Amino acid sequence: MTPLLALAIAGVACGGTKSVDPPTHAAAWLRADPQRCLLVRDLSENMEAMARRCAEQFVRQNGYTLAPATDDSTRWVLEVGELGGWARVFALREGTLDEQASTTQCSVRQCVVIFRMRRQTIACAFRAVTMTQVFTRIRLEPGAVQDIRCTDRQA
């Protein structure tokens, strides 16, 4: 586990901002990269807020939330080891992650956004979405991360 990921897990918090759909007029070369965030950045928001919005949009568009995946197939990204048609992939992903990120942490090189897993028998399990500091190379990291102290904090 990277130190940045460990730091992000340690600071799990609730909340989030609403995501906005990407502009439909984005250049074709921008839309061709499904791991590039197409959201317009509000320059009054910090890097973590933008990374959170990008990651929330990424998990929503790729069918990890209860909402259906986007119809825009240029935004779909396969995880390592996923096989079969998109219908099968989306059926396995559906509802596995919360719609809102739990926490976000950015460094000079990378942003990590943590999402709570919804269909997990282990309490307090999370998945991490990583991206560059310019919101490209967005990917859901393989495997879950468990917060072993989480149950200590619950009433």
Over residues 25-52, the pLDDT tens digits come to 677 777 788 899 999 988 899 999 999 9
Decide: pTM greater than 0.85.
Answer: no
pLDDT tens by residue, 50-107: 999 999 999 999 999 999 999 999 899 999 889 889 999 999 999 999 999 999 999 9
Class of residue 125 by CB neighbours under 10 A (exposed 0-12, middle 13-18, buried 19+): middle
E-only strand ranges, the chain: 103-106, 110-116, 125-132, 139-140, 145-146
